[in-house]
Structure 1
Amino acid sequence: MIRPHAAAPLAVLSCLFAAAAQAAPTPAEPTALRCGKLFDARSGKLLGAHTITVRDGKIAQVQAGLNDVAGARAVDLSQHTCTPGWTDLHVHLGGQSSAQSYSEGFRLDPVDFAFRAVGYANKTLMAGFTSVRDLGGEVSPHLRDAINQGLVSGPRIWAAGKSIATTGGHADPTNGMNDALSHLIGPPGPTEGVINSIDDARQAVRQRYKEGSDVIKITATGGVLSYAKSGDAPQFTVDEVKAIVDTAKDYGYRVAAHAHGEEGMKRAVLGGVTSIEHGTYMSPEVMSLMKQRGTWYVPTVYAGRFVADKAKIDGYFPDVVRPKAARIGAMIQQTAASAYKNGVKIAFGTDMGVGPHGDNAREFVYMVEAGIPAAVALQAATIRAAEVLGVEDQGTIETGKRADIVAVKGDPIADINAVLDVAFVMKDGTVYKQAL
């Protein structure tokens, strides 16, 4: 994603609260959700009718059958399938791709991106995604805080803040600048998320801690949308990756690695990252290494399909980007199919912000097209996503878990397209959408 060069301060978002997206409703009285079917994320099976009782933001009870619960408000979902709230492990709420993306980073102010981010967050929640991992964007930590305070509506956010890159790498904020502007700004360093040594690597992680990040994102190879020629060249040494991972562990962080090229992926896995994002040129050797190390794969098929389609449009991407988008984007779905067949652990992510926010669920459809069973795709966005995040209080519909619940009409196991029409969204026991 193309990022604005200036960080968005907390003061920027504070001015939005009165006029922004609808604020979170006050949690209601105990609720009984009477579900026609229930997706059990732990087993990957679709169960019959169940009643879910929600109290104080948590799941209090799960009972077979459509039952009345004394003192609880009943919600009739008898024609629907209830699933745990979905998690998208790769989004960028601070922006959204368009033909103007590359110029907007120079023309717009942080407040413009912050206003947009509030709307994008609300669309994401309405699409059934009660949690996201935002992998790169200075707006997202502040948006996370506003959502947690109930000031605006949106998913629960694990925010990376500024991605960590090397000089000229995919997340170097000065890529594409002319000489005069580059000299004016000066070479970015660890504070700006650009490293060139082991010491820089440690400092960059500590800076993200200082800024309040929840997770660390590195750009282990070139990228599709960055203003640079290579989309797959390795951009970190193994020792640099290891320094990032080891320092991240000091602060309880996990590390996600954007990676398209084989060598960059190998270095990232050997360095100990938690997940590989995109993974376009993932070879059997890399797959074997990931299985040995327990590394997760987040395919982001949606982003690949989107950029490959847009590469056909004259003027949508700069000339340096267009061939990368056409070549790399078209391959990701095939890679996801191969990774699944070879037993690589797969979790759900879209890279949304490349495509339009709110369309995240289409990734389920693309995963199924790649030969991944619908139940496995749903697990990837629920229990598997929780495992990637390292949390135990979400991802399944079980007593004591967060009351994050989504309902779609029909049977998404039989027809995955059902996920594109979300009728009901509950997050932490609060109903945000009820279009029944």
Structure 2
Amino acid sequence: MKAIVLVAAAALIAAPAAAETVLITAERMVDVLTGRTVEKPAILVEDGRIRQIGTQGTLTITDGKRIDLPGLTLVPGFIDMHVHLTGDPRISPMDSLLKSDSYWPVLGAVQARKMLDTGFTTVRNVGSGNFDDIAIKQAIDDGWVTGPRIVPAGYALGATGGHCDETFFPPSFERTSRGVADGVDALRAKVREIRKYGAEVIKVCATGGVFSRNTEPGQQQLREEELKAIADEAHMWGVKVAAHAHGTSGIKAAIRAGIDTIEHASLIDDEGIKLAKERGAFLSMDIYNTDYTQSEGKKNGVLEDNLRKDREVADVQREGFRRANAAGVRMVFGSDAGVMPHDMAVNQFAVMTRFGMTPLQALRAATSTAAEALGREKDVGAIAVGRFADMVAVSGDPLASVDPLLGAKAVVKGGVLVTDRR
């Protein structure tokens, strides 16, 4: 009798749950893959993925849920390729030292929800302490908290004393980031270690940075052979690599090393732009956040030396963005949220069009092109059959102006209405 019960219980566990069906309708839908607008769309969703796309009246359901968004335009859920969920610029450096170590993932979960509410259904978190971004991802995936899909990096890799090391402490503290290593073999081992604990992208600091101490953005801080070792090791494990690279030489070394996305790219020159296009590297350039850091940084406790570096790269970076986009380099949306409040990241759309992008190019940078950079074209980045039903409902025509993208009226993730501001 006991054996029969166990077999029956096993059968119940193995039996697939009934597929949840949802029909989503709206006034229109933007197909970012073709650049076309579809009138009166009807989107059939099963178990969180899009199974069929048709038009209202021809595609209906008799049993299931409906999400009707009359008068609104659907675009794919946004992807931010460069965020720091566990950071907040309004917490001063001194105040941050008074927080418990376990404070930051709690804060990160709150920030994740803010990004979701503004339309970011996927974010790539490029570095956090204590593997906090991986913990937040797990809590979201398990349904304990609501937030976007997270592609976590865990600890960022870097050189001793470089941008990704602990640079604000005296020698007596003996503080070194867990991601720090020097030399080809040590950095290969770090890739394995960080991936072991859940990283889905490897972040590496190829140059100095703006908001670290005793580093300059233009400084190259890892040799090209070290960067190549990181890229080769990560790619062998099926993981992509993002390189923080402000400086000209570091940008080009990272591209030649085979790194997938170049973050910031502030001082990129024409040779670097040509190299990025030839090698197929993606540029993730955070061209909005300086508006916030320059207006609020001093009040938030940012040191003058850091604000000085921020000023020096701001305009140069924006002009580099314009030239790279005009040259046909593949550009993705990366805001560096955490340097500014997370709910402001969406404002970067307006700056992208101010510096040369069309509204469609800006939208693709945050959807289909970003999905390609992630290697997740089958899951996110477009309202297309087989992909997750992640979408944002906006008013107006986002192909005429990006203004509608700045104020999401509703957000759907996996066929569930997670935000409704109508």
The alpha-carbon deviation at position 40 of structure 1 amounts to 0.6
Task: Return the match for 1:166 from 159, 162, 169.
Answer: 159
The alpha-carbon deviation at position 309 of structure 1 amounts to 3.3
- Partner residue, 2:74: 82
Task: Return the match for 2:88 from 85, 96, 110.
Answer: 96
Deviations 1:362-408 (A, max 9, x none): 11111111110001111111111110110122211122211111111
- Partner residue, 2:360: 375
- Partner residue, 2:34: 43
- Partner residue, 2:13: none
The alpha-carbon deviation at position 101 of structure 1 amounts to 3.3
- Partner residue, 1:153: 146
- Partner residue, 2:102: 111
Q: Retained in 2: the 8 A contact 1:423–1:435?
A: yes
The alpha-carbon deviation at position 145 of structure 1 amounts to 0.5
Q: Retained in 1: the 8 A contact 2:113–2:146?
A: yes
The alpha-carbon deviation at position 256 of structure 1 amounts to 0.3
Equivalent residue runs for 1:344-359 within 5 Å: 344-359=329-344
- Partner residue, 1:252: 238
The alpha-carbon deviation at position 429 of structure 1 amounts to 1.5
Alpha-carbon separation, structure 2, partners of 1:230 and 1:29: 53
Equivalent residue runs for 1:392-411 within 5 Å: 392-411=378-397
Equivalent residue runs for 1:224-373 within 5 Å: 224-310=210-296, 313=298, 316-373=301-358
Radius of gyration: which is bigger? 2
Aligned length: 401
Task: Output the aligned Cα RMSD.
Answer: 1.8
- Partner residue, 2:10: none
The alpha-carbon deviation at position 314 of structure 1 amounts to 6.3
Secondary structure in 2 matching 1:147: helix
Secondary structure in 2 matching 1:252: coil
The one-letter amino acid of 2:50's match is I
2:378 matched to 1:386? Answer: no
Q: Retained in 1: the 8 A contact 2:92–2:300?
A: no
- Taking structure 1 as reference, are residues 340 and 112 closer, same or farther at Cα in structure 2, changes over 3 Å only? same
TM-score, length-scaled by structure 1: 0.88
2:419 matched to 1:433? Answer: yes
Alpha-carbon separation, structure 2, partners of 1:106 and 1:348: 31
The one-letter amino acid of 2:63's match is G
The one-letter amino acid of 1:101's match is S
Secondary structure in 2 matching 1:224: coil
The alpha-carbon deviation at position 66 of structure 1 amounts to 5.8
More displaced 10-residue stretch of structure 1: 376-385 or 319-328: 319-328
Alpha-carbon separation, structure 1, partners of 2:380 and 2:306: 38
Q: Retained in 1: the 8 A contact 2:67–2:417?
A: no
2:191 matched to 1:199? Answer: no
The alpha-carbon deviation at position 212 of structure 1 amounts to 1.3
Secondary structure in 2 matching 1:398: coil
Q: Retained in 2: the 8 A contact 1:219–1:259?
A: yes
- Taking structure 1 as reference, are residues 219 and 104 closer, same or farther at Cα in structure 2, changes over 3 Å only? farther
Alpha-carbon separation, structure 1, partners of 2:406 and 2:64: 29
For structure 2, the residue ranges without an aligned partner over 5 or more in a row are 1-17
Deviations 1:263-306 (A, max 9, x none): 01011111110011111111010011111110000111122333
Alpha-carbon separation, structure 2, partners of 1:148 and 1:180: 40
